[in-house]
Chains A and B, each alone.
Chain A
Amino acid sequence: MNGSMNVSSNPHVRSKATTSGIMISVAIALLPAAGFGVYNFGWRALMLLCVCIATCVASEYIYEKCMKKKVTIGDFSAVVTGLLLGMNLPASAPWWIAVIGGMFAIVVVKMLFGGLGQNFMNPALGARCFLLISFTARMTTFTYDGVTGATPLAVLKSGGNVNTYDMVIGRIPGTIGETSVIAIVIGACFLLLSGIIDLRIPASYIITFALFIGIFGGYGFDPYFLTAHLSGGGLMLGAFFMATDYVTSPITPAGKYAFGIILGLLTGIFRIFGGSAEGVSYAIILGNLLVPLIERVTLPKCFGKGGENR
């Protein structure tokens, strides 16, 4: 055995956490919300989710094969992107929109910038916004129980009444995965308990947004109005699953709070002062673009720096 040992730099032990393990956990955490979407909107929703996942995985595989790069679909990050994208589509969207979205997310937003870890915005959200701009009508037509209608937030904006109980349960029109607050929170609890995400981004996002709505929404801190805003428009899905995307959120501890606050303000501005009733997606991708700046101004103070000599 002499002279045949492995040699490497310290440390010589590693934790069990792996990138693929984390991605699989995120996918599992999305399942309650996705499952509710399928229950709510029917088999069409399941078809769209599958098409999105398949397109994302296939795009990554084909791109990497063409570019003669190492195939990385084993890390399951494309599965998460596909699932998130699908959950951000209306159940009535045609299948080819899912295909275009999946390709855009993986090839344009992720791979062209260097693949996993290098994309500057959340691929699923980047693709959703691309689709919203390109196919506005198809992306904003929401059918529920066979009836095409406005989302609760749009109703609210035009002065109508909504049922907040239905909004928390998720029995409302909207994209496949965004409607049920309960299902999203169940998945989020799993991620929080397994330590994959923490509350810094979601909590600062949600609290800032609630304060903003309370101050500028025109109804003060009316519980009905606040509940409607917090439950609608994919805020919960965005706060727990998309704002917390590792790659496109700050790695500095203070930056995480700053990022959440910025998202809360942007979402509030878009919803109250913007033309559309929604705003979570745009707020998050705009926030993503600010991440390098946020990190620069929130560098942690290193241990013992600046202390006085005794």
Chain B
Amino acid sequence: MPKFTFNGGIHPYDGKDLSKDKPIKEFLPKGEMVYPLSQHIGAPATPLVGKGDRVLAGQKIGEAGGFVSAPVYATVSGTVKGIEKRRVPAGNMVDSIIVENDGTYEEVDYAPVKPLNELSRDEIISLVKEAGVVGMGGAGFPTHVKLSPKEPEKIDYVIANCAECEPYLTSDYRRMLEEPEKLIAGMKIELMLFPNAKGILAVEDNKPDCINKLRELTEKEPLIEVRALKTKYPQGSERQLIYAVTKRAIDSSRLPADAGCIVNNVDTLVAIRRAVVEGRPLMHRIVTVTGDAVAHPQNFKVRCGTNYNELLEAAGGLKCEPEKIISGGPMMGFALFDLNVPVTKSSSALLCMTKDEVAVYEEGACIRCGRCVEVCPGRVLPAKLADASEHGDAETFLKYNGMECCECGCCSYVCPAKRHLTQSIKSMRKIMLAKKKK
């Protein structure tokens, strides 16, 4: 059987052994909770509560600010302390609702939902929308938008992104091992929306236990297939994943739906099931707390809004002084300058590393070795794009397809001259995207 994969990519040290055998532990936060109104791509949510209001866990505190937006829910009970700008993992300041946690975790009474087989397509999508479900793999794209392509009958593959190609992360892995039936249930709901689609659970082949378990559970499901993908970063990148599964390649100007595919992450599918079957909003996610500076690396079921400081304490704190702390994985995560930020809907990990490899090396001159070209999954010329970016040369940047970069970081990873290729290209892309918007 040919291996399902894509061209380019890298094999970095994966560090998953640190936390992969640690079962998911529920973590109950004690301190102040922070709910950024923008935890997704699109318009920020608008607050529904004010200072002094009492809120319950599961209560909607922010209404979606448009179609491409998502509501925000309180995940503990307590009192609203105020609405102010707080720093989020990505590094920017975002309007956030601050809730003083009363420690009782009192929940709202959820409205009962109709049985699954009585729900219409629109009802399912609106349940997902109401629950504030967004892409939990990192991008945070509102899921109901993904589930509403123009022509649903043209979708022939619904793909569950179970690749988890980022080094160190084990949150999806644990979810697949411990609650595979929830993932499969989420997939079945998604299949109800697309009459002609086949469900694919796409797992990297470094997780044979997940593959076996999922195969066992889907044996009697004619519409669902488990597919083992070659382990390679960035296999979980949406367009690379679609290519590996279907051999359909789309560039950045097109959506997965243009290739007849809808792709959702493991945790997102679990959240879809929770929204549609239980009528409950997205409140938790699995976060891997790991890295060689963490005393007891493990996986937590965390309420969104929890402060990273508290979460790190729950993992036994630090066993030695870290040089770098990252929210997310080492390839695409955000470096934090301190831990005083909340867990958001798309935070997959807290990674504390004793050595900052970026700071170890000094940037040198490009020797044109072509390694960046070989590994680029977007099949562009990172070295040339970075040159154009550094010279502010927008024309050359566009001519060499700079907008096709997916910012996966492979080029910076392999560069022997230690050039900050991804960073340069990313900056130029930001400038070009901002120009386009005007």
With contacts A17-B414, A309-B254 taken as known, whether A11 is within 8 angstroms of B331 at the C-beta atoms is: yes
Sample (30) of A-B pairs whose CB atoms are under 8 Å apart: A2-B340, A6-B356, A7-B91, A8-B358, A9-B420, A10-B332, A10-B335, A11-B331, A12-B330, A12-B331, A12-B335, A13-B12, A13-B330, A14-B357, A14-B415, A15-B12, A18-B361, A19-B367, A116-B367, A251-B381, A253-B373, A256-B370, A303-B240, A304-B239, A304-B249, A305-B401, A307-B248, A307-B254, A309-B254, A310-B258
Least distance between A248 CB and chain B CB atoms (Å): 8
Contact of A117 among B254, B318, B324, B367 (CB under 8 A): B367
* Residue A275 lies at the interface, judged by CB distance under 8 Å to chain B: no
Contacts of B258 in A (CB 8 A): 309-310
Q: Of the 9-residue stretches A36-44, A45-53, A132-140, A294-302, which lies at the interface with chain B?
A: A294-302
Q: Can you name 4 extra interface pairs (CB under 8 A) apart from A10-B333, A13-B167, A307-B251?
A: A2-B340, A22-B416, A246-B370, A307-B249
Please tell me if the beta carbons of B357 and A252 are within 8 angstroms of each other in the complex.
no
Once the chains bind, are A2 and B339 in contact (CB under 8 Å)?
A: yes
Q: Which of B367, B400, B418 contacts A22 (CB 8 A)?
A: B367
Interface residue total, chain B, C-beta cutoff 8 A: 78
B334 proximal to A (CB < 8 A) = yes
Q: Chain A nearest CB: distance from B77 CB in Å?
A: 28
Among residues of B, the one whose C-beta sits closest to the C-beta of A14 is: B357
Interface of A is mostly: loop
- Flag whether A274 is at the interface (Cβ < 8 A): no
Q: In the complex, which residues of chain A have a beta carbon less than 8 angstroms from the beta carbon of B339?
A: 2
- B247 CB to closest chain A CB (Å) equals 11
Q: Contacts A5-B323, A5-B325: A300 and B380 contacting too (C-beta < 8 A)?
A: yes
Number of interface residues of A (CB under 8 A): 45
Asked if B423 is at the interface (CB within 8 A of a chain A CB), the reply is yes
**Interface check B379, CB cutoff 8 A:** yes
> Taking beta carbons and an 8 Å cutoff, which residues of B are in contact with A?
7, 10, 12-13, 91, 154, 167, 239-240, 243, 248-252, 254, 258-260, 318, 321-326, 330-340, 353, 356-361, 364-371, 373-374, 377-381, 383-384, 400-401, 404, 407, 409-410, 412-418, 420, 422-423, 426
With a cutoff of 8 Å between Cβ atoms, the chain B residues found around residue A269 in the complex are: none
Q: Is the CB of A1 within 8 A of B322?
A: yes
Given contacts A6-B356, A19-B364, whether A302 and B330 have CB atoms under 8 Å apart is: no
Beta-carbon contacts under 8 Å, A46-82 to B: 72, 75, 77
Report yes or no: A246 in contact with B373, Cβ–Cβ below 8 A.
no
Given A13-B12, A14-B418, A117-B368: A252 touches B373 (CB 8 Å cut-off): yes
Is A94 an interface residue, CB under 8 A from the partner? no
Most buried by B among A7, A22, A77: A7
A24 shortest CB reach to chain B, Å: 12
CB of A3 within 8 A of chain B?
yes
Q: Which residues of B contact A15 (CB under 8 A)?
A: 10, 12, 413-416
Picked from B251, B357, B367, B414, the residue with its CB within 8 Å of the CB of A302 is B251
8 smallest CB-CB distances across A and B, nearest first, come from: A11-B409, A9-B423, A304-B251, A304-B249, A251-B370, A2-B338, A117-B365, A17-B416
Option from B254, B335, B416 in Cβ contact (under 8 Å) with A304: B254
For the complex, is A21 an interface residue (Cβ under 8 Å from B)? yes
Give the residue of B252, B321, B340, B358 whose beta carbon is less than 8 angstroms from that of A12.
Answer: B358
Residues of A within 8 A of B335 (CB): 5-10, 12
- Contact check, B358 vs A300: say whether CB atoms are below 8 A apart: no
What residues on A are CB-neighbors of B252 within 8 Å? 304
How far, in angstroms, from A246 to B369 measured CA to CA in the complex? 5
Which residue of the partner chain B has the closest CB to A308? B258
Partner of B416, one of A3, A11, A21, A247: A21
Identify A18's interface contact among B324, B331, B416, CB under 8 A.
Answer: B416
Q: Is the CB of B336 within 8 A of A7?
A: yes
Contacts of B374 in A (CB 8 A): 253
Q: Is the CB of A10 within 8 A of B407?
A: yes
From B248, B258, B369, B417, name the one whose CB has the most chain A CB atoms within 10 angstroms.
Answer: B369
Asked if B401 and A302 make an inter-chain contact with CB atoms under 8 angstroms apart, the answer reads: yes
Residue of B at shortest CB range from A22?
A: B416
Nearest neighbor of A8 in chain B, beta-carbon distance: B358
A6 touches B323 (CB 8 A): yes
A77 to B417, CA, bound (A): 12
| CB of B375, distance to nearest CB on chain A (Å) | 10
Does the CB pair A310–B154 fall under 8 Å?
A: yes
**What residue in chain A is nearest B168 (Cβ atoms)?**
A13
| A277-B243 Cα distance, complex, nearest whole Å | 51
Interface string of A274-308 (1 = CB under 8 A from B): 00000000000000000000000001111111110
Known contacts A6-B323, A14-B412, A251-B381; is A305 also within 8 Å of B337 by CB? Answer: no
Contacts A2-B340, A19-B364 given: A10-B334 contact, CB under 8 Å? yes
Any B CB within 8 A of the CB of A115: yes
Q: Which residues of A contact B167 (CB under 8 A)?
A: 13
CA distance A249 to B370 in the complex (A): 10
Name which of B258, B335, B367 has the most chain A CB atoms within 10 A of its CB.
Answer: B367
Using Cβ atoms and an 8 Å threshold, which residues of chain B touch A246?
367-370
Most A CB within 10 A of own CB, among B243, B318, B322, B379: B379
Q: How far is the CA of A113 from the CA of B361 in the complex (A)?
A: 25
Residue on A with the closest CB to B409? Answer: A11
Asked if residues B250 and A307 are in contact (CB atoms below 8 Å), the reply is: yes
A309 CA to B416 CA in the complex, in Å? 38
Let me know if A301 and B379 touch, CB within 8 A: yes
Q: Which residues of A contact B249 (CB under 8 A)?
A: 303-304, 307
Chain B residues near A251 (CB-CB < 8 A): 368-370, 373, 381, 383-384
CB <8 Å contact, B332 and A11:
yes
- Distance of A144 from chain B, by nearest CB (Å): 36
Residues on B with C-beta less than 8 A from A18 are: 361, 416, 418
CB neighbors of B among A130-179 (8 A)? none
A303 close to B367 (CB less than 8 A):
no
A252 and B380 CA atoms in complex are apart in Å by 9
Chain B residues whose CB sits within 8 angstroms of the CB of A75 once the complex forms: 364
Q: How far is the CB of B110 from chain A (nearest CB, A)?
A: 38
Q: How far is the CA of A86 from the CA of B259 in the complex (A)?
A: 57
Chain B nearest CB from A112 CB (Å) reads 15
CA–CA, A3 to B361, complex, Å? 22
With a cutoff of 8 Å between Cβ atoms, the chain A residues found around residue B423 in the complex are: 8-10
The interface residues of chain A lying within 8 Å CB-to-CB of B356 are 6, 8, 12
Which B residues touch A118, using CB under 8 A? 365
Contacts of B371 in A (CB 8 A): 17
